[in-house]
Amino acid sequence: MEHVEKIKKSRIQGMLSGFGPAWLISAVAAGPGTTLSVAKAGGIYGYGFLWVIVLSVVLAFVCQYMAAKTALIGGKGIVSIVEEKWGKGLAWFVALDALVVIWLCNVVLLKVLVAVTEFVTGLTSSLWGVFFVAVFYGLVALGGYKIIEKICKVVVSLLVICFIATLFIARPDLGAMMGGLVPDFANFGPAEIVMMTAIMGGSIHVTILSMQTYTVHERGWTTKDLNLALADTAVSLLGAFGLYCTAIYLTGACVLNPAGIQVSTLFEMANAIKPILGEYAHGFFCLGIWCAVFSTIMPTFIAASYVVGDKMRWDLKSGGKKYRGIILAGCLIALPGAFLPGKPVALLMLMLALSFVGTPLFVAIFMKLLNDKSWARENKNGWLLNIGGGTALMVTLFLAVKWVVHIF
């Protein structure tokens, strides 16, 4: 009996030590855009948008697992798989779609980083952008970013703990929470469509879907690790990311909404943690957002190198000439973000929505491949994953079309 318990314990420990790829994805997803969109939704709609938060987390889990499963079955990244299956034309489209979204995110994230830095230091200058771009290139292209990233993740985790702790003080209305789990389409107009698109855009977008198809290979996983990939994705997306989104949203609903704070500026979100941090709320919140940008933007520079290397069939080595060239290109593309006019809040919401427009294509590719018996073989999707994937495809396509029609 003791021997059996030891075997079970070693298996659990082995699984936990194998976790990794989806945790990186959830860290990227839990950036300033997601923080803003869910807090803003809580401030505006109270508990009424809770069902959207839950749906976004569940669909994020489904889509990220399908991305991992596709990569493990295909043995390659998304671009190579598409090219092998449907040819160079679609592969180029997928690669360019991913790169446009990745670099668009970097432009807006740099704007946010500059805005927060200006607010904290009192020094208003777009040259902050030049400074940060140089720092990013040094950290990502030449090495050393992982140490900074770990520090940033610790600070962001502390910020989330503050949101959770605030809930114990604010005490959400459980009845209203239960009511918020039921969709209400009676007053679901264009503004609600935009908000829902932004929330979904934070959890299901092209950058993290494409990244997932590469990070599982970085870990050395194969089809034998499909169960590990499922557990990894469930714990990180349904668990950690789900807690992150729900805690911030409920804090917005029970703290910001009663006070009439609708998060029109980035720093109004700090009011959500005032019940626990008091006068220190704004300072710590700024530090948390600053770190959230840092821990989000650096992996996206690397994501661009995955996509370019995959399409060009380059064996990119960290620190190699081609790798450094792609990172430098990403930094230079991000640089204009420091000079963008407009409020960071509006730009973040726009970024999330634009990032979301290409998502239905990626979800459709995963669904098509994973239901192709000649391609997926014994790992073909089961009925439960197909229900989740089909729901994800319908929701993402509906919102993408609605958002485009609303804009134009």
- What distance in Å separates the CA atoms of residue 73 and residue 372, rounded to the nearest whole number? 12
At residue 266, φ and ψ (nearest 5 deg) are: -60, -35
DSSP 137: I
Residues 329 and 250: beta-carbon distance below 8 Å: no
At residue 204, φ and ψ (nearest 5 deg) are: -135, 90
Burial 323-356 (b: 16+ CB within 10 A, else e): bbebbbbbbebbbebbebeeebbebbbbbbbbbb
Question: pTM for the full model?
Answer: 0.90
- CA-based nearest residue to 65, from 212, 206, 192, 180: 212
Task: State the Rg of the chain over Cα.
Answer: 21
Fold of 50-407: Amino acid/polyamine transporter I (1.20.1740)
H-type helices in 204-320, by residue range? 206-218, 226-233, 242-251, 274-277, 281-312
- What is the residue type of 68? A
DSSP 104: H
Q: What is the pLDDT along the chain (408 residues), one digit of tens a residue?
A: 444 444 444 444 444 444 567 777 777 777 888 888 899 999 999 999 999 999 999 999 999 999 999 999 999 999 999 999 999 999 999 999 999 999 988 999 999 899 888 888 888 888 899 999 999 998 888 776 677 777 777 877 888 888 888 888 888 999 999 999 999 887 788 888 888 988 998 888 898 999 999 989 888 899 999 999 999 999 988 988 999 999 999 999 999 999 898 888 778 888 888 888 888 888 888 888 888 888 888 888 989 999 999 999 887 776 678 889 999 999 999 999 988 887 887 888 778 877 788 899 999 999 999 999 999 999 999 999 999 999 999 999 998 888 777 666
> Where on the phi/psi map is residue 13: left (φ > 0), alpha (ψ -120 to 50), or beta?
alpha
> What are the residue boundaries of the structural domains of the chain, listed by start?
50-407
- What distance in Å separates the CA atoms of residue 106 and residue 271, rounded to the nearest whole number? 27
DSSP track, 222-254: -GGGHHHHHHHHIIIIIIIIHHHHHHHHHHIII
